[in-house]
Chain A
Amino acid sequence: MTRYVDENYKLFIDGKWVEGGGKKFETHCPADGKLLATCAEADKGDIDRAVSAAWRAFETWKDVNPQERQRILLKIADLMEANAEKLAMVETLDNGKPIRETRAIDIPLSIDHFRYFAGVVRAEEGAATMIDKDTMSLILREPIGVVGQIIPWNFPLTMAAWKLAPALAAGDCVVIKPSSETPLSILELAKLLAEVLPPGVVNVVTGRGSTTGNYMLEHPGFRKLAFTGSTEVGYSIAEAAAKKIIPATLELGGKSANIFFPDCPWEKAIEGLQIGILFNQGQVCCAGSRVFVHEAIYDKFLKEAVAAFEKVKVGLPWEDGTQMGSQINEVQVEKILGYIEVGKKEGAKVATGGYRLTERGLDKGCFIAPTIFTEVNNKMRIAQEEIFGPVVCFIKFKDEADVIKMANDSEYGLGGAVWTKDINRAFRVARAIETGRMWVNNYNSLPAHAPFGGYKKSGIGRETHKMILEHYTQKKNIFISLSEKKVGLY
């Protein structure tokens, strides 16, 4: 097979590739266990150097005009597009997700994110108000400074694009840390960024959360933190930000409701069920992991869902025909299988799946069969906790009020969907569910230009939309007296 990655990767700091002060770590392909590369781990000194480099770069980057920032963002997108096949394969190898997804979704959406913010940056304006005839108030957006960004392993390049594009558009400089499980696509992206960005504008530091991640949280040099990951780690990010009195945007966990009414567009709905929980092997924060099906269609829907799940081709992720690839690692498999046992003990029944796949060349990887639980009560742990795998809970409901109550009985509020041809019902249910994103007759669509983020313990802030620039900028008010007269108080 063509070698898509380097054998060794360093840290990308101040526009240069430098050795890290910490232990080196290896990254392996989860689908076959093979070593992909050895990476550097950033220690405290490396974080200091990265933050310092970012602040030096900020002195000039903050004043780069919108036309130039747009040109650079577009150039990044063009470079990614020219290297799309390589980026797709690197992501597939490092993460285990099917190549059909990285080619059609991860990489194109990431590219488009840079193009979206390239467009947005030219349309951003401040505001001017006449407070009275002699007093003018100007409101200008100014970049916030150096931002620390920490991203997860489930969508490495896409999450990097969600974070980097708005920060660069806003005029900020960045120190970004990918997950130590999946650092390679961001490191490959850094090679492209080096061609167009001044040194220090983006710095990529790799390493474990307990070392590199915590050094970032402790560092006093950041003016904002941005994080995508679990709610548990989100507490630490929020606490670190609070101690520094800096803002943090958080995109956290979920246990989203995928709701099917009797008048749903049937075939599309069956596919939507699969997209909701099988896309990216169910390792999606907004996965439709709680499926609520109206009692009038429950039996037929379940039968067809089981048949559809059993047809899904789980396979080696780099093969074109593979629909579902490998989970991220062995401990994630252990976690998923652990939850399957929990579900059985709680009294739920496995309608299909529920086991690890090891046949047809999958024995060295981390593969789980698409799994449906029935006879689930919404209070069960499998209906309340994030399993983060291709495991879905089927729950029967009687009417709108019933399903809205159950859907909202969750500490999370990130995604969700309602499937119906009744437009009034669609809007009623979409409005009633306490969640940041409700899809109507679709699922897991995550393009730029539509805000994404959570209610409740699913997070703070909205990404993938120009409104995130509010978080990457601060407001300067210039308050002007046009009068020549004294106020007269002294």
Chain B
Amino acid sequence: MGLSGKPDGPDSLTYGIMRITKDTQVEEIVKIRGVVSYFIQHGVSPISCSGAFPQSLGNLLSIKKVADPDAFIEGLNAYIEDQAQK
């Protein structure tokens, strides 16, 4: 299910096709199924009543004062790959 509660297309259900960087738009990242859990577990909410954060992941991590953004992003990519293999 996607942002609008609908089943998404195949691309958004396929793990591992997107390498997340600090420049990746949060709106694109949250289309990946299960990825919001990673954000919440690591203290960053990527969505709100405004919808998905409308800028890059780097900007979100900066606003949320994440101490080690590179580690967050590395962990996120590992999480996505791990989910893809399950």
**Of A11-19, A23-31, A140-148, the one with at least 4 CB within 8 A of chain B:** A23-31
A334: CB under 8 A from chain B?
yes
Q: Which of B27-74 contact A (CB under 8 A)?
A: 27, 30, 34, 36-37, 39-41, 43, 45, 47-55, 59-60, 63-64
B6: CB under 8 A from chain A?
yes
Which B residues are in CB contact (< 8 Å) with A230? Answer: 48-50, 53
Given the known A-B contacts A208-B54, A230-B48, are A181 and B4 also in contact in the complex, defined by CB atoms under 8 Å? yes
Q: Which residue of A lies closest to B38 (CB)?
A: A338
Which B residues are in CB contact (< 8 Å) with A339? Answer: 40
A28 touches B5 (CB 8 A): yes
B1: CB under 8 A from chain A?
yes
A1: CB under 8 A from chain B?
no
B64 touches A334 (CB 8 A): no
Q: Which residue of B lies closest to A339 (CB)?
A: B40
B84: CB under 8 A from chain A?
no
Which A residues are in CB contact (< 8 Å) with B75? Answer: none
B3: CB under 8 A from chain A?
yes
Number of residues on chain A facing chain B (CB within 8 A)? 50
A232 touches B6 (CB 8 A): no
Which A residues are in CB contact (< 8 Å) with B30? Answer: 331
B45 touches A335 (CB 8 A): yes
Contact among A329, A341, A385 for B4, CB-based, below 8 A: A329
Closest approach, in angstroms, between the C-beta of A232 and any C-beta of chain B? 5
A179: CB under 8 A from chain B?
yes
A274: CB under 8 A from chain B?
no
Given the known A-B contacts A331-B36, A338-B40, are A210 and B7 also in contact in the complex, defined by CB atoms under 8 Å? no
B25: CB under 8 A from chain A?
yes
B5 touches A386 (CB 8 A): no
Q: Which residue of B lies closest to A159 (CB)?
A: B49
Which B residues are in CB contact (< 8 Å) with A35? Answer: 6
Q: How far is the CA of A210 from the CA of B28 in the complex (A)?
A: 10
A386 touches B48 (CB 8 A): yes
Given the known A-B contacts A27-B4, A28-B5, are A210 and B55 also in contact in the complex, defined by CB atoms under 8 Å? yes
Q: How far is the CA of A490 from the CA of B64 in the complex (A)?
A: 60
Which B residues are in CB contact (< 8 Å) with A33? Answer: 1, 5-7
B5 touches A208 (CB 8 A): no
A285 touches B5 (CB 8 A): no
Contact among A153, A330, A338 for B2, CB-based, below 8 A: A330
B47 touches A335 (CB 8 A): yes
Q: Which residue of A lies closest to B54 (CB)?
A: A209
Closest approach, in angstroms, between the C-beta of B49 and any C-beta of chain A? 4
A130: CB under 8 A from chain B?
no
A416: CB under 8 A from chain B?
no
Q: How far is the CA of A338 from the CA of B46 in the complex (A)?
A: 12
Q: How far is the CA of A253 from the CA of B47 in the complex (A)?
A: 12
**Can you list 22 contacts pairing A with B, beta carbon distance less than 8 Å?**
A30-B4, A179-B51, A180-B3, A181-B3, A209-B53, A209-B54, A210-B25, A210-B27, A210-B52, A228-B49, A229-B48, A230-B50, A233-B54, A285-B49, A329-B2, A329-B5, A330-B3, A335-B40, A335-B47, A341-B40, A365-B5, A366-B5
Q: Which 6 A-B pairs have the closest CB atoms?
A: A209-B54, A338-B40, A230-B48, A229-B50, A330-B1, A152-B49
